[in-house]
Amino acid sequence: MSLLRAALPGPGRLRGAGIPWSILRSYSSASAKKAKSNGTCERTELLQVLKARVKQLQATSVPEVTLTKVELAPLQEVVAPREREESPSRTSSWVEKLKREARIQQLKVEQVSPIIASELALEAKVKNKAQGKVKGKGKKSPKTKTSHAGSPNIHVHGKPTGAAGKEAVTAPGRRVLDNKESSQFKILQQTIQSNLECFAFLQQPEEAERLLLMYHRSAKRKVLNVSAYNIVMRSWARKGRLQRINYLFSMLESAGLQPNLDSYAAALECLGRNPFCTKSIRRYLQQLQHDGFHVDELFQKCLFEEDEKEKVLKAVRMVHPNYQLPPAPSPQTCSSSLLQDFYSREKMVPYPKLDFSVQELQECFQKQLELEMNNTITIESVESSKPLTPQAIKARKLLATLRSQWHDSILQALQKSKYTMSKLKTASKYNELYPYLCLMPGEEYVGIMLEVLNTLSPQGESLSVLAKELGTKVYNRYITRRKLCSGQLEKLRVVYGGYIQLLAKDGQPAKYLPREYWEKLVAEAGFGPSLDLKNCSWSYMLLMRLGMHMLELLVQAVKMPRNILSPRLEPRLIPALYHIYSFRSSSQIGLIKPHPIFCQIMSDAAETTLTFNSSAIPMLCPPVPWTSPHFGAFFLNDTNLMRFVDGAIQHQLLLEQCPLVNLHPVLDALNQLGNCAWKINQPVLDIIISIFNDKGNEKLDIPPPMSEAPKPPALPGNLSALDKAQRHELLLCKKKAAEMHSLRVDALYKLSIANYVRDRVFWFPHNMDFRGRTYPCPPYFNHLGNDVIRAILLFAEGRPLGPKGLDWLKIHLINLTGLKKKNPLQERLEYANEIMEEILDSADHPLTGRKWWMNTDEPWQALACCMEITKASRSPDPAAYISHFPIHQDGSCNGLQHYAALGRDLIGAISVNLMPCDVPQDVYSAVAQQVEEFRRKDAEHGVKIAQVLQGFISRKVVKQTVMTVVYGVTRYGGRLQMEKRLKEIDDFPEEYLWEASHYLVKQVFNSIKEMFSATRDIQNWLTESAKLIAQSGQTVEWVTPLGLPIVQPYYRSRPTVLNCSMQNLSVKSTHSNQKPDTVKQKNAFPPNFIHSLDSTHMMLTALHCLRQGLTFVSVHDCYWTHAVTVDVMNQVCRQQFVALHSEKILQDLSKFMLEKYCSSDRETTAPWQKKLMEQLSNVPKTGEFNLQNVMDSTYFFS
């Protein structure tokens, strides 16, 4: 830092021997007059606080702490140092002052409020040294308590504790500060940085620096990393305050941290805003090179907002006028053996075009952008067609009046809360929520709270759900505002305008993938802000605390007259929301429940509009391609590449540590799925809405309205007089009503969104869970939905049926009926031709004809398929008929297929259709037959329960358990499944349910063990390996064959208690420094590992279908494409399954885990390591099955 030290003006040049940089004073670079005025006011206010604090400290005996008695000196004028070098004559006064402040730093901040210690160190004018020392006796001082997991409540004074209590409180905090790799440590870092980002966003660098100093001058300094200092530097750089930048560099040195590229970028940006600073620029550039960086790296690796990049370049060119920006780095190519052909430039083909012009896609982009800028969208409900009654008109007017009053009262409560918090900033407490309540105008916070109020269920909702929803809504709006303020919008318009050329039918053909083309366009755009924001995520605990605060304001502020519906009652105000407690499972939880009067008004009003977050609606243009773990999908809405449980950050850290090139296959597969355009099947949607608005139909999976809910029995005036049967009946009525309301609202949301986009083309951006399984981002309406939703979705792109397309439509219809599962495809086709009259009648008269379609497994998809077959068969040339209909091909018990392939298990492979057969093999029937054989033998030997079960063992009884064995179901879970199936059989004797289900699950497990011997060996090897890893205190990690890193997020977590005024909220949190949950780690590893393989197979199929020009989407192990391309997709699907399992999957897993968990620098190996090494090295042996047989298996996917 010697070169940099010479460049520092002011106190940086006057550093005395032995005086740390961390306590150097600094003052505003404003005019001397203004600085003098502001400083006097601040110090006067501070002195009042300090006098009160000194009295408190003198009156309190504090053990183990030495306090210096101080006299508060009168204020002296201090002239702010100028931005030029100080004269040597000033040195002695600075050194003397710094020595006095160094004395204050000797306070042990663990025993005194850290904010007071930092205020003393930062601002106090101390004249005389200590006159004596005060030693504490008796009571201990209140300790500073921080909520677990980096809780946002930084300083809350706890109750006095004894010696044991002291150890319990301080030890965890110290462990957190010492373990820098723990998630808890990183969450605390994240919370501090998000606080600083808020102040930077609010253009309050003084507050940001004040908060940074509070940590920098406390025992919590360890939690600060370079990023925290850089945030404050950037904040000052925007104002061109070089002195503050210099001071922060000195703080970095005192903290033992090395400046990084972002630090130098901030310094150079600041210098770029200041003319005549060439000497400082030259010294900073020299220091940058001295620290091992190159100037080019500033523009290659740093993220910029607004005009920051231009200012950095301006500074560089002040000393190097001919400097040119470095060229974009050459794109890296994924080296996976599974995708060598896919990424080969020689075999690259132009990207398939959408059936849209550049102009049309530009208009779609503009609509989507407007939608996201508004954050929310209000749409008409599908119930809006109902006639408006006088009662509804009256109730709506009443609601409008109440909402207007509530708006004003909530706004007033919010302003009062913010005012109270603002006063705490200079007192002995620091309320961290204050900046988060200043990020937007108060009206927006009120709007968010009213949105939540309007959607509250009559049964109420838990505090934790509501708090998370409120906190997340604020965060999403903050991210949108940040992106707009950073200047991203204009650059986004330019880049997306170019990206459209790749997709539009009249755009220039290009041999690029969407990700590659986007990266190329961004590199060519050059100047302007980075489209990828610097990390500014909020911790889960912070979201919960912010949400709880808003919820408390809402409950307190929302009141209504008691006599609003009954004028004869007393006209006093009552709360519209109540906080109550209820039991769910074995836990007591807090609920917010609307008052029955409010529920009645809402019910009478029957409002016909619904408000959603913009991210809940399908996109109206192709999504932004995923280019990194934190950029893709929506334009302004924040979306994670990987979904994870609340509070977990391990997955995101793992993705960020992974080389980006390793993630390219996963990103490209998600982009391919997201680029599929969709449209609505309007005739089917209209039929569904008509039944929905009538009385629903539970058989057809359309929930009835609440008017159809069972009526509770007539109750006496005194509820305590109810007998047990009456109480049970009442409870069942309430439970049924709650279920009906939930199902009805869910269907209402989905159908209303579908109706909103009925005349539009739309897209579903995708992300994935921690195992790599993919999901559409819009949560309500998407193709992963139930039969009703899938029936109303069509591909926007149509393709001619071709010579075999109509046959595939008919086979698909029979598959949907569930009638011919054991028959070959040709027989299914012949059956479809036999029932053509029923098919045509269903299409022509769906609600008035013979209604054949209603008696199928998937009635709505069957009806949609009937309509498509009818239109195609009646067209002049069915082969030329343009079809938009998706045809599905399902894996045959896909989890067992992967196990059989891994173990080369011949018997298992035959059972799950990996071997070619004339008819489809049904593993569920095979297991049922095996179980029946076991039962028959036991019955012959006089086993009573085996005799009772005669005639009751069927495919249906065993199917669910067989299906879920591969996904880790335990015998306990399997028994419950069996019991549920047996209950559905009317003739089965109820008294034998437990014994029979216990017997059956045992026999199912034995059957699978006998039929799939290699499968059980692999499952046991995975389970035992995970058990030993978890027992060693580590979580199970692996990497998929496509390079996606995976970690299991199961810990023995202790809930974190958030102390809120309404109630203490117990929040589950997961941290990598907690002990793994051994049971969950071992039980979940086999199914999670298989899920990661089925997602790998799906992604490989998606990418190679792209190369073949196919439309492809998936619902996990169910693949969709056009009728004309089913045969091509089937071939690709089989090729990629064979290619995947030709890799040494288990051997590679063993090698990875041995390297991760058993490599040690120690000379001696611990016993647990030896055991784990032995287990991991003992990879299960494989059988004789030849994988190439899959290529000829018709029923592998069918």
Amino acid type, 768: M
746 labelled catalytic: no
pLDDT > 70: percent of the chain: 82
Tell me the residue length of the chain.
Answer: 1198
CB burial readout 12-50, b (16+ within 10 A) else e: bbbbeeebebbbbbbbbbeeeeebbeebeeebeebbebb
Q: Which of 959, 1027, 1082, 1094 is catalytic?
A: 959
3-class DSSP state for residue 959?
helix
Over 70: is that where the pLDDT of 821 sits? yes
Confidence of residue 448 (pLDDT cuts 50, 70, 90): very high
Q: What is the pLDDT of residue 158?
A: 35
User: With contact defined as beta carbons under 8 Å apart, do 1013 and 1060 qualify?
Assistant: no
To the nearest 10°, report the CA torsion of 505, 506, 508, 513. Answer: -20
> Three-state SS for 1124?
helix
Catalytically annotated residue among 262, 638, 787, 1117: 1117
> What is the rounded average pLDDT of the residues 79-100?
40
Conformation bin of residue 1050: beta by default, left when phi > 0, alpha when psi is -120 to 50? beta
Residues with Cβ within 8 Å of 61's Cβ and at least 6 positions away in sequence, in order, are 134, 135, 136, 137, 138, 139
Whether the pLDDT of residue 750 is over 70: the answer is yes
**Amino acid at position 10, single letter:** G
- Looking at the DSSP bridge assignments, the partners of residue 1119 are 889, 1114
Would you state the pLDDT for residue 1007? Answer: 87
Q: Is the pLDDT of residue 534 over 90?
A: no
Beta carbons of 288 and 254 less than 8 angstroms apart: no
CA distance linking residue 1053 with residue 635, whole number of Å: 36
Name which residue leads in pLDDT, 482 or 117.
482
Chain centre distance of CA 1180: 36
Q: Is the pLDDT of residue 218 over 50?
A: yes
H helices present in 504-649, as ranges: 514-525, 540-557, 596-605
Band the pLDDT of 24: cuts 50, 70, 90.
very low
Name the pairing type of β-strands 1118-1121 and 887-890.
antiparallel
pLDDT tens-place string over residues 541-556 = 899 999 999 999 999 9
- pLDDT value of residue 454: 92
Distance CA 73, CA 126 (A): 6
Type of residue found at 829: L
Mark whether 143 is an active-site residue: no
- Among the options 890, 938, 1009, 1171, which is catalytic? 890
Please report the pLDDT score of residue 1070 as a whole number: 62
Interval 313-328: pLDDT, tens: 999 999 999 999 888 8
The two structure tokens encoding residue 1174: 């032995």
The whole-number pLDDT of residue 332 equals 86
Task: Centre a 10 Å sphere on the Cβ of residue 317 and count the other Cβ atoms it contains.
Answer: 14
Question: What is the structure's pLDDT at 540?
Answer: 87
Q: What pLDDT does 13 receive?
A: 35
Q: Is the pLDDT of residue 935 over 60?
A: yes
Tens digit of each residue's pLDDT (9 = 90 or more) over 479-515:
999 998 888 888 999 999 999 999 999 988 888 999 9
- Give every CB contact of residue 940 below 8 A, 6+ residues apart in sequence: none
Q: pLDDT tier at 1152 (50, 70, 90 boundaries)?
A: very high
pLDDT of residue 131: 37
SS3 90: helix
Greatest C-alpha distance within the chain: 109
Rama region for 1105: left / alpha / beta (φ>0; ψ in -120 to 50; rest):
alpha
What's the mean pLDDT in 345-370? 91
**In a 10 Å sphere around its CB, with 0-12 CB exposed, 13-18 middle and 19+ buried, how is residue 717 labelled?**
exposed
- pTM recorded for the entire structure: 0.82
**Tokens 């196990």, residue?**
899
Mean pLDDT, the chain, whole residue set: 82
What is the C-alpha to C-alpha distance for residues 796 and 763, in angstroms, rounded to an integer?
10
pLDDT above 90 for 270: yes
**If DSSP codes are grouped into helix, strand and coil, which group holds residue 702?**
strand
Q: Which residues contact 58 (CB under 8 A, 6 or more apart)?
A: 69, 134
Cβ atoms of 554 and 466 within 8 Å: the answer is no
Query: Does residue 812 contact residue 825 with C-beta atoms inside 8 Å?
Result: no
Over the stretch 866-879, which tens digit does the pLDDT of each residue have?
A: 999 999 999 999 99
Q: Does the structure show a pLDDT above 70 at 1191?
A: yes
pLDDT at 734 exceeding the cut of 60? yes
Residue 425: what pLDDT?
59
CA-to-CA separations, 307 to 4, 245, 342, in angstroms, rounded: 25, 18, 39
pLDDT at 1148 over 70: yes
In which band, very low, low, confident or very high, does the pLDDT at 1027 lie, cut at 50, 70 and 90? very high
Contacts 24+ apart (CB under 8 A), 963-968: 963/893, 963/895, 963/924, 965/1004, 965/1005, 965/1008, 966/893, 966/895, 966/896, 966/899, 966/1015, 966/1019, 966/1086, 966/1087, 966/1090, 967/895, 967/1086, 967/1087, 967/1090, 967/1091, 968/1083, 968/1084, 968/1086, 968/1087
Give the residue-averaged pLDDT of 1161-1173. Answer: 77
Task: Please compute the mean of the pLDDT values over residues 645-674 and round it to a whole number.
Answer: 89
Averaged over 328-332, what is the pLDDT? 83
Q: How far apart are CA 975 and CA 273, in angstroms?
A: 71
Q: In this structure, are residues 1050 and 1035 in contact, taking their beta carbons and an 8 Å threshold?
A: yes
How far apart are the C-alpha atoms of 764 and 779, rounded to whole Å? 10
Cβ–Cβ contacts within 10 Å for residue 260, how many?
18
Q: Report DSSP state, residue 1157.
A: I
Residue 264, C-beta contacts closer than 8 angstroms, at least 6 positions apart: 284, 287, 288, 293, 298
Which residue would you say has higher pLDDT here, 986 or 1189? 1189
Q: Report the share of the chain in percent with pLDDT over 90.
A: 56
What pLDDT sits at residue 346? 80
Establish whether 959 is a catalytic residue.
yes
Query: Strand, coil or helix: what is 1193?
Result: coil
